[in-house]
Structure 1
């Protein structure tokens, strides 16, 4: 199967740099699969898991909190707000963050707090879904 180069970079670090056979991510218009020779495009990413299939048949699961996906025929670049490999996510901390966000929603006093709580809740839910996807593949 044909390969393409892939780079996944967050504001803090480079998460992945290597060859892949396929990338699956959730863009602003829905889930997208990318193979070598894909039509060039740029799309925004929604928070959630991104799957990279490597030439040796392994799959890498990465959580992204959002960002930009740029596709070229032989190169895919992901510029993520934050990103982490699924196996590096700490489920206990994520559950705690989710509980705090739910408490903030219950005790909301203004729209700024509500928006912050909703964003935090959405991020924790997306991270937990990424962990579950990773466990199902491991």
Structure 2
């Protein structure tokens, strides 16, 4: 049995499809969702949303948000998503290294916060490339 998933931003529908399994980037770790999951509303962190259909995973990079899970329906509300157009492993690995250095070299709280957000995005990009390849 499959479930319905919709990913929405304030101005458009990113995807509306069926899935066998969904993995969400929760604030305290990944949340796996299968058909018949208990009802739940949860906050989402910056990270990788994965949708599995017919043994194939589709990754979507989220900028944080909320998810509502209700038995066989998952609704994800986010401020923004990052398009996965032509990501190269060497390129995203270099971005990850730069983001890690930025976190290590940050001197103010604002610099650390901004650098940690970029680090989360870089990690999600590397994970997405691994799922796409």
Which TM-score applies when normalising by structure 2?
A: 0.76
Question: CA distance change for structure 1 residues 94 and 17 in 2, over 3 Å: closer, same or farther?
Answer: farther
Q: Deviations over 1:28-86 (max 9, x none)?
A: 232222122211101112222222122x443211111221111011310011232245x
Match of 1:74 in 2: 72
> What residue ranges of structure 1 are gaps of 5+ in the alignment?
none
SS of 2:6's equivalent in the other structure is: strand
Task: Select 2:114's aligned residue among 113, 116, 119.
Answer: 116
1:115-134 equivalences under 5 Å are 115-134=113-132
Match of 2:26 in 1: 27
**Distance of 1:25 and 1:68 partners within structure 2:** 10
Question: What number of residue pairs does the alignment pair up?
Answer: 131
Find out whether 1:17 has 2:16 as its counterpart.
Answer: yes
**Distance of 2:36 and 2:44 partners within structure 1:** 20
Which TM-score applies when normalising by structure 1?
A: 0.74
> What residue ranges of structure 2 are gaps of 5+ in the alignment?
none
After superposition, the CA RMSD in angstroms is 2.8
**Distance of 2:40 and 2:19 partners within structure 1:** 18
